[in-house]
Structure 1
Amino acid sequence: MSNYRRPHICQCLSRLSSVKSDTIVTVYGHRRLTGREFVAGVLRLAGGLIRLGLRNGDVVAIAAVNSDCYLEWLLAVAFIGGIAAPLNYRWSLKEAQTGMLMVEPVLLVTDENCSSWIRSVDAPSLKWRVLMDSASKSFANDRDILTSEMLKQHYMLLPSPSMYRWAPGEAVVICFTSGTTGKPKGVTISHLAIITQSLAKVAMVGYSEDDVYLHTAPLVHIGGLSSAMAMLMVGACHVLLPKFDAETALKATGQHLVTCFITVPTMMSDLVSMNRAKGCRIQKASVRKILNGGGSLSNELLIDAIKIFPKAKILSAYGMTETCSSLTFMTLYDPKPESNSSILRAEKFISIHRPQGICVGKPAPHVELKIHLENSSSTGKILTRGPHVMLGYWGKVQVNIAGSESSNGAWLETGDIGEIDEFGNLWLIGRSNGRIKSGGENVYPEEVEAVLLQHPGVLSAVVTGVAETRLGEMVVACVCLKEKWQWSEENLDGSDTSGEDLLLSSEILRRYCRTQNLTGFKIPKRFFRWKKHFPVTSTGKVRRDEVRREVASLVQTLNSSL
């Protein structure tokens, strides 16, 4: 294929460099950059990386919170034909080390938020360490630590926006997602997948150069990254917050007249709660588009969201990292009086929820979906194929990445169970692998169970997800105790009782999870002592569906008694 026909995410630089000289495209704190200034920063950084010695196909690990510098790094690495591997800043050092060893980066770049990682995590392949934003005082005299400004000032050649390169197989990003074994997997994503996904968001949501986009989602996640690319492609303005918190987000929305952002149910719940804390006086009429992912908005949460953002079209999206974000889109609310797509009309709510599942809408234009039926039922495994599908998992595809199954047109199993109705809408029934979606984060039960089983007082454990308004799903653990161990919820302070009694409690197990470097969002919010054998199938596998139903009943009983 001729180079001019090959997609590359840095093709957006030509558009950004041609916007009006006084048009601001990034806002981060007090820093404002025009399109030309932002592009110049990307090109200087790319030139510095070339002089440093980065080559096509080299992996660059990035550990940082959201910023304009983060966007620069993503594009600069892609520009020189490198592959960016964002590391989750919420990871423990142990998890970060696992990720580093998996992707084998030649360069690690961190910001001040993750500066402790710059010496604490390593890989045999690592050659350089860079501080993204500014030189930390603690590293001021360390000649082995570079900074972004050093690289920008010592570029070999200032490239033009059209001099970009491709990595082998046209890979550009490795996004991590947890596996059912608890080990992270690196999803290898191509330029084509990101551009196709970005164009789908532009078409389905209606993004344009007039938009002011608030970065509520972290760039380390595929949802935040793909939405950011959509905004770069249309030349919109980016307002970047290091991390999401409801008060700061609402303040930024009013200050910068934000027109759009993405959210997960947890974020929307926090925005609603903050709105109530302010006496329900906040109304953000500038917001016109909200895209929700990471789980369905409850009826109550959607109605509350409309009160805060009365002029916003609210959509939901369903997808996964392996498909470069969204597979389907659905309009939940459209404020236009003439709209026929709103499910909220005349204050009457038509639920998208039903006992058999949740409606997640129709596939995006480029997405093929089908249900793999194993019997006469209309329900089965959800499969997809198209340019949005990953190249493969990193470590399994480097040698022959261009010839991976996805590029040959094979169907990808999403891991979800569902059905397609007579109108072409996809309904989610459940997750074939038991994955829990809590606060927009994926939690795999096997990983949490493995940690709990290491405790000397735990005989067996089953972790499941229970519906919860704010988180979408709450992580709940059921534990069977070993002989002579006692359960008590009176030990609420988590004090060490190991020298006195063989005692366990919810707080003791939470503290134990923290000492085992389990990331915060994976630690169960509730624990139940299970006094009987877990239900199993004929082959000895735990019937998680039965456990989930019983736990949901227990949680409902506890909540009603409060």
Structure 2
Amino acid sequence: MNLAELGFWRIARRSPENVAAVEPDGTTVTAGDLLARVNRITRLLRDLGLTGGDRVALVAANEVAALETVLACHQAGWYLVPVNTALSAAEIAHIIGDCAPGAVVTSARYADTVRAALDQAGVAAERRFATGPADGFRVLAEAATPYSGEWAEDRAPGAFMAYTSGTTGRPKGVLRALAAGDPDDVYAAGSAWQLGMFEVEPFAAGTHLVTSPLSHTAVNGLALASLHLGHRVVLMERFDATGMLRLVERERVTTTHVVPTQMHRLLALDPAVRGSFDVSSMRNLIHGAGPCPPAVKRGVIDWFGPVIYEYYGASEAAGTVISAREWLARPGSVGRAQPGTAVKIMDEHGRELGPGERGRVYLELGPRAFEYRGDPEKTRSSVLDGWVTVGDLGHLDEDGYLFLLGRTAEVIVSGGVNVYPAEVEAALLEHPGIADAGVVGVPDREWGEIVCAVIQPADDARERAAAPGFREEVVAFCRERLAGFKLPRRIEIVAALPRGANGKLRKHLLLPEIDGRPTG
């Protein structure tokens, strides 16, 4: 592999006529056109005063304009802050207020929610851009048109700044120092490392299919890495199992990224429907973002062949990877440490544990340490002598393969998306009819886990809580405060929650309360 041939910007200059991306409606964009758009956006935002280390927030659908914005940031030395499009205005406003972006780009369909968030955060009108016409936003393409699409000067590598949970349950930015050097060289090396662990080869007539929202850092990162390796990127507006198979066949897709919920839905299709599509082009089907039931994984391997690759990691540090053949020999494992990194298990005293001993999973930070923006206490509590934990429990076998056991941080992983109980509990406790609430994840065949709220009604609301319609009322109340994926899918009413003498909720005692009861 010659790294000097890789990197989107140099590939686009060398082969501008090649198709680089395909919109959800089938519109193709050549590498030359994509590069010109990226350069115009770079100059537009520089004209607004953005300099190295500034942030650009992106609240966008799966469309090529989202990739353009990321590539502009990554060649201009800016942090791209991907914001989940399912968040509420208040949740988006928190992230915007915290990262203080020099510009915000959104898709027109999310303009109403984002406008409310930007009004709360006080973002100036000239720094608001939409990918299509929307009240209160400048159309990104129109604003960028007057600027030159020629090669941009003074280029520097940028980076993602993803948001994850802080000590209060509010999202915190994972901030790393920017790399130095030529962006093409930096991203060529990074992409070759990232996709190389899944045995993805550069060029090789590659086509990468995006099935999940680009607002997820792993999804966005794999799409960009594919461009940097000379593959074209095909975008799905939203996941649909039959639609995915149709695109795999039509576009001869070679790589994709899915979450376990999507794998479950693919297997749920009628066998005749599954068999009607040619998926033989698939060489690397990558999955992560949550535990996958072994039966589901075996089913996908039986269907697609030994092309399935799983990873485990976090925004904070690289983790593990495992191929289908390795997994079949060690079912349930999430693999060994990714190339150039390490994983170890430690007890509560920071003592490293041996094979088979259960403890907290720590990932090696490597040369580019991070910090949680604005939360030094969470940084200190999560990092130990160059290693970081996100609260997962597990053990290693004699060959260094990691097996996960659970999450000490109580994060609920539903459909591949993290839900933090503290946020849901805070919304529930705003309801005047709720005296106390606890939130836990309960197993679900399709979603992996669903959000379950255990509620203690206020004294004057006990009769109302026992009546039909109360649960729907609570969900409607939460919908005004939380993104849809955080809403309780199950609500149980109890006389009192199990709290200790110190007032701390004993969440493990909530599970017997809900075991065996029907969904509310």
Shift of 1:103: 0.9
8 A contact 1:200–1:364 mirrored in 2:
no
1:92-111 equivalent positions in 2, closer than 5 A: 92-111=88-107
Match of 2:226 in 1: 231
Match of 2:172 in 1: 185
Shift of 1:77: 2.1
Match of 1:165 in 2: 156
8 A contact 1:60–1:106 mirrored in 2:
yes
Shift of 1:294: 1.5
1:77 equivalent in alignment to 2:73? yes
8 A contact 1:200–1:366 mirrored in 2:
no
Which of 324, 338, 346 matches 1:364?
Answer: 338
Q: 1:157 to 1:258 in 2, by over 3 A?
A: closer
1:128 equivalent in alignment to 2:130? no
Alpha-carbon displacement from aligned partner over 1:210-231 (angstroms, at most 9, x marks no partner) = 3211011222112112212321
Q: 1:118 to 1:473 in 2, by over 3 A?
A: closer
The whole-number CA distance in structure 1 between the counterparts of 2:167 and 2:447 is 21
Shift of 1:525: 1.0
Shift of 1:283: 4.8
Shift of 1:410: 2.5
The whole-number CA distance in structure 2 between the counterparts of 1:388 and 1:257 is 38
Q: 1:462 to 1:276 in 2, by over 3 A?
A: farther
Which of 510, 516, 520 matches 1:554?
Answer: 516
Q: 1:115 to 1:453 in 2, by over 3 A?
A: closer
Shift of 1:205: 0.9
Matched residue of 2:213: which SS?
A: coil
The whole-number CA distance in structure 1 between the counterparts of 2:234 and 2:130 is 18
Match of 1:455 in 2: 431
8 A contact 2:258–2:286 mirrored in 1:
yes
Matched residue of 1:320: which SS?
A: coil
The whole-number CA distance in structure 1 between the counterparts of 2:492 and 2:113 is 36
8 A contact 1:268–1:301 mirrored in 2:
yes
8 A contact 1:285–1:310 mirrored in 2:
yes
Alpha-carbon displacement from aligned partner over 1:175-207 (angstroms, at most 9, x marks no partner) = 122335231111224555987764343222112
Identity level (%):
27
Alpha-carbon displacement from aligned partner over 1:239-279 (angstroms, at most 9, x marks no partner) = 01233232332222222111221111111122223455947
Consecutive unaligned residues in structure 2, runs of 5 or more:
180-185
Matched residue of 1:476: which SS?
A: strand
The TM-score normalised by the length of structure 2 is 0.86
The whole-number CA distance in structure 1 between the counterparts of 2:190 and 2:262 is 23
Q: 1:158 to 1:525 in 2, by over 3 A?
A: same
Shift of 1:460: 1.7
Match of 2:194 in 1: 201
Alpha-carbon displacement from aligned partner over 1:47-102 (angstroms, at most 9, x marks no partner) = 23333432222222211111111111111123222222222111111111111111
1:519 equivalent in alignment to 2:483? yes
Matched residue of 2:335: which SS?
A: strand
The whole-number CA distance in structure 2 between the counterparts of 1:390 and 1:73 is 25
Matched residue of 1:128: which SS?
A: helix
8 A contact 1:12–1:233 mirrored in 2:
yes
8 A contact 1:177–1:185 mirrored in 2:
yes
Shift of 1:234: 1.0
CA RMSD of aligned residues (A): 3.4
Shift of 1:469: 1.7
Shift of 1:437: 0.7
Match of 1:416 in 2: 392
Consecutive unaligned residues in structure 1, runs of 5 or more:
1-6, 335-340, 345-349, 353-358, 398-402, 495-504
The whole-number CA distance in structure 2 between the counterparts of 1:527 and 1:235 is 48
1:329 equivalent in alignment to 2:321? yes
8 A contact 1:465–1:548 mirrored in 2:
no
Which of 4, 14, 17 matches 1:18?
Answer: 14
1:150 equivalent in alignment to 2:115? no
The whole-number CA distance in structure 2 between the counterparts of 1:294 and 1:506 is 29
The whole-number CA distance in structure 2 between the counterparts of 1:41 and 1:87 is 22
1:39 equivalent in alignment to 2:35? yes
Match of 2:265 in 1: 270
The TM-score normalised by the length of structure 1 is 0.80
Amino acid at match of 2:248: T
1:312-461 equivalent positions in 2, closer than 5 A: 313-323=307-317, 326-331=318-323, 333-334=324-325, 341=326, 343=328, 351-352=331-332, 359-374=333-348, 378-387=357-366, 391-395=370-374, 410-461=386-437
Matched residue of 2:476: which SS?
A: helix
The whole-number CA distance in structure 2 between the counterparts of 1:117 and 1:452 is 22
Q: 1:490 to 1:147 in 2, by over 3 A?
A: same
Shift of 1:428: 1.5
Q: 1:532 to 1:61 in 2, by over 3 A?
A: closer
Shift of 1:490: 8.4
Matched residue of 1:36: which SS?
A: helix
